[in-house]
Chains A and B, each alone.
Chain A
Amino acid sequence: MRSISTSSTRVPSSLPVRRIHTFALRRGWFQWCWLLIGIAFLLFVPAIVTTFWLHLLNMALIAVIGAIGLNLLTGNARLVSLGQAAFLGAGGFAAGLMTVNHEPPFLLVLLVATIIGGALGFIVAIPSLRLRVLYVAVTTLALHFAVSLSLNMIQAYVLDSSGMVLPIPAIFGFELSSPLRWYYTLLVISTGIVIAALNLLRSFVGRRWVAVADHDLAAESLGISVSRAKISAFVVTSAMVSFAGALQGYYLGTVTFEYYNLGLAITYLAMIIVGGMGRVLGSVCGAVFITLLPYSIEKLMHVLGIGAEGSTLSGLHEVLYGVLIIGFLLFEPRGLAEIWRRIKTAALDWPFRYRAVQRIQR
């Protein structure tokens, strides 16, 4: 029998679990193999898709970063944010404004956009300290309107133009001039963000967020500072989202305030709901799924020979988003990530219906 609790152990001592494995992300050679296969597949994707779909994948990779930020905030810290478009817009406009007259290095612009996003997150965190679920949502909605109005005025009065054009960025001389180059860069960046998010969630910062989300009073009485948890949640995630906004601005090449409307915020909410709230895998699945969905539908309709006008099609997309949000909330609240987990478990346990208890604990 294993020795009963040493003072540093945080896991309840009655469980036969070695502490080192409790929060491990990857366990065993089998999962490492799958990870390597996955990475190899992602590296070879450009060889099998057309440029247009590569472009969509790039959009999806950028959306992954934004969705991870939103999911950390809304799924894990349970601070419902309707201000996603505002944070994205802040990042995009920061990048746009910096490159209007000068040509600062790409990485510097990204850094500044991230910091601006963090500052904006700090501002919206302050009123949220006294508020709970619904009121936080409304505060972020107010932020959305305030930011979109400011962006509108910046565009109309300061720039006196209908948008900003961003230069082609370069990282240490490596020009991101083609979708292929963008793909590999974005793949590296999003993988980094995914790993960062996974680590954040098992560090004391992320677990503090979850504790406050589960029960703020209990968390406070256990010595967790609720205000610090809420502020850090807003600052970290909005910095992340703003970073995604700046990347998106650079990738699309233009920044206009019309792009950052409430529909964009709802699209991101759809991503995390469809993917799975509170799971990093969910953000990834949801972002890819929702980004590719309209084009897949279009393609499907094309194959089936159903034609539709542009406006009808955009209406159809919105209905679909709405139905997906409602449907997943009602019938599969933990999203695609849960469906994937169920498939995986079923495959691993086949031909049995469920696993013996000992195997789970080992």
Chain B
Amino acid sequence: MLALVTILATWGVYALLGCGIVLIYRTSRVLNIAQGELAIMLAYCLATAIRSQLPLYLALPASLAAGAAAGIIVYWICLRRVMGEPPFVGLMVTVGLAIAVHGIMIIFFGGRFMTIDLFVAGSMQLGGTSVSKTDVFVLVGSWLSVGLVFLTYRLTKLGLLMRSVAENVTLSAQRGVNVDRIVGLSWVIAIMAAGAAGSFHGVRAVIALATAIIGIKALIACLIGGMDSMRGVLIGAFLVAGSEFVASRYFETRYALLAPIVLLLIVLAFRPWGLFGTAEEIRRV
């Protein structure tokens, strides 16, 4: 039961980060390397806000607003100009973004270890075993957030427009979709999701500069599932979280990153477009 809760909570965090990456990739064809860094920076912000005695009902909306602001800055200042450029340009911009955000974290938070202390603490009985309440909180919270992103994507008009842009930019622009705004909004939503994921991670574990690695893990999850598939990222995140858990439980903690990478290499060797991705995404030579 404990294992199940742990895997589900990690899965939720990776899925939340990953669906942001997929959302960005689908609408703007940019692979966002900086997702993990942005997540940790926003988690740092929330941790600082809570530590400075800001009440929770102010701190949470403030952190979401910070996420939205980060998304607006990132898209409208950096990424907007490289839309339509060769894909590696966008990739490089996010690499630059990642290192810049990393530097900002060093300057403002000094690379300190922080935790987000919420009202949940202690453990509870679940199915006969005792599990930590924070894990359950993270599990529920992250999956609710994933659900929210999916509902936005599937059911709202904004989501419809996003899907149309993802399907065909030129056609949707000709049908009167404001492509620029839709792509920008998908960046905003994705980075808000990243902030939430980082904060959930911070509730369970420690926030430090090195934990930005969760972005890489989410990226691996997306690649396993297929970069252009929102469904796929859920499966990919499960595989990453599961393999990581197995590796660190039954072998050694330092293998925790290696297991998802091995999995990724296997998937890349046999289905380069991922388990649920469309094959046309990469022209095979």
**What A residues does B219 contact at CB under 8 A?**
138
Residues of B223-268 at the interface with A, using a CB-CB cut-off of 8 Å, are 223, 227, 254, 257-258, 261, 264-265, 268
CA distance A326 to B95 in the complex (A): 9
B153-195 vs A, Cβ < 8 Å mask (1 yes, 0 no): 0000000000000000000000000000000000000000000
Cβ–Cβ contact A318 & B87, under 8 A: no
Point out the residues of chain B lying under 8 angstroms from A132, CB to CB.
282-283
A226 to B101, CA, bound (A): 37
- CB distance A133 to B91 under 8 Å? yes
Q: Once bound together, how far apart are the Cα atoms of A312 and B254, in whole Å? A: 29
CB of B86 within 8 A of CB of A316, answer: no
Is B92 among interface residues, defined by CB-CB distance under 8 A? yes
Chain B binding surface, main DSSP class: helix
- Measured in the bound complex, the distance between the Cα atoms of B101 and A146 in whole Å is 25
Q: Which residues in B have their C-beta under 8 angstroms from that of A141?
A: 216
Q: Of A5-13, A55-63, A91-99, A123-131, which binds chain B?
A: A123-131
Q: Which of B202-230 contact A (CB under 8 A)?
A: 216, 219-220, 223, 227
CB distance from B116 to the nearest CB of A (A): 22
* Contact residues, A330-352 vs B (CB, 8 A): 330, 333
Q: B78 near A137 (CB under 8 angstroms)?
A: no
Do the beta carbons of A149 and B254 come within 8 Å of each other?
Answer: yes
| Residue interface bits A304-317, CB-to-B below 8 A is 1, else 0 | 00000001101111
A321 within 8 A of B: yes
Given A226-B285, A266-B99, A330-B82, CB of A134 within 8 Å of CB of B227 = yes
Q: How far is the CB of A143 from chain B (nearest CB, A)?
A: 9
The docked-state distance in angstroms from the alpha carbon of A132 to that of B272 is: 10
Q: How would residues 251 to 293 of chain A score, 1 for a CB under 8 Å from any chain B CB and 0 otherwise?
A: 0000000000001001001100100000000000000000000
**A139 close to B100 (CB less than 8 A):** no
Contacts A131-B272, A318-B106, A329-B82 given: A78-B99 contact, CB under 8 Å?
no
Q: Are A127 and B87 in contact (CB under 8 A)?
A: no
Kindly state whether residue B118 has any CB partner on chain A within 8 Å.
no
Question: In the complex, what residue of chain A is closest to B274 when comparing beta carbons?
Answer: A135
* In the assembled complex, B105 has its CB within 8 A of some CB on chain A: yes
Chain B positions 67 through 93: 1 when the CB is less than 8 Å from some CB of chain A, otherwise 0: 000000000001001100011110111
Q: How far is the CB of B192 from chain A (nearest CB, A)?
A: 21
Give complex CA distance A324, B97 in Å. Answer: 10
Which residue of the partner chain, among A80, A217, A226, contacts B88 with CB atoms under 8 Å? Answer: A80
Contact between A149 and B257 (Cβ–Cβ < 8 Å)? yes
The yes or no answer to B141 lying at the interface (CB within 8 A) is no
Alpha-carbon gap, A257 to B219, bound state (A): 24
Q: How far is the CB of B211 from chain A (nearest CB, A)?
A: 14
Across the interface, A220 reaches (CB within 8 A) one of B92, B98, B102, B285, namely: B285
* Segment 91-118 of A: residues with Cβ below 8 Å from B: none
Residue A184, interface by CB 8 Å: no
**A182 interfacial by beta-carbon distance below 8 Å:** no
Flag if A134 contacts B99 (CB, 8 Å). Answer: no
The count of chain A contact residues (Cβ–Cβ below 8 Å) is: 50
Beta-carbon contact of A319 and B104 below 8 Å? yes
A131→B282 contact, CB < 8 A: yes
Given the known inter-chain contacts A131-B272, A133-B87, please indicate yes or no for A318 contacting B100, CB distance below 8 A. yes
Q: How far is the CB of B232 from chain A (nearest CB, A)?
A: 15
A-B contact count (CB 8 A): 138
- Which residues of the partner chain A approach B96 to less than 8 Å between Cβ atoms? 270, 273, 321-326, 329
Of B107, B254, B258, the contact of A146 (CB 8 Å cutoff) = B258
Q: Identify which of A129, A311, A325 contacts B95 (C-beta below 8 A).
A: A325
Q: Are A145 and B257 in contact (CB under 8 A)?
A: yes
> A226 — nearest CB in chain B belongs to which residue?
B285
B31 within 8 A of A: yes
Q: Is the CB of A322 within 8 A of B285?
A: no
Min Cβ gap A359→B in Å is 32
A142 within 8 A of B: yes
Find out whether the CB atom of A130 lies under 8 angstroms from the CB atom of B107: no
Q: Does B61 contact A (CB under 8 A)?
A: no
**Bound CA–CA A329/B89 (angstroms):** 7
Q: Determine whether A191 belongs to the interface, using a CB cutoff of 8 Å to chain B.
A: no
Contact check, B99 vs A315: say whether CB atoms are below 8 A apart.
no
Task: Indicate whether A312 sits within 8 Å of B106 (C-beta atoms), given known contacts A137-B31, A138-B219, A226-B285.
Answer: yes
22 residue pairs from A and B, CB less than 8 Å apart? A80-B88, A132-B282, A137-B91, A138-B220, A138-B264, A141-B216, A142-B265, A145-B257, A149-B254, A227-B285, A266-B95, A266-B99, A312-B107, A318-B103, A319-B100, A321-B96, A322-B96, A322-B99, A326-B78, A329-B89, A330-B78, A333-B89
- Apart from A134-B91, A319-B100, list 19 A-B contacts with CB within 8 A: A80-B92, A131-B282, A134-B31, A135-B268, A138-B220, A141-B216, A149-B257, A216-B285, A226-B285, A263-B102, A270-B96, A273-B92, A321-B96, A322-B97, A325-B95, A326-B96, A329-B82, A329-B89, A330-B82
Give me the interface of A with B, judged by CB distance under 8 Å.
74, 78, 80, 82, 127, 129-135, 137-139, 141-142, 145-146, 149, 152-153, 216-217, 220, 226-227, 263, 266, 269-270, 273, 311-312, 314-326, 329-330, 333
Where the two chains meet, the residues of B that have a C-beta atom closer than 8 Å to any C-beta of A are 31, 78, 81-82, 86-89, 91-93, 95-107, 110-111, 216, 219-220, 223, 227, 254, 257-258, 261, 264-265, 268-269, 272, 282-285
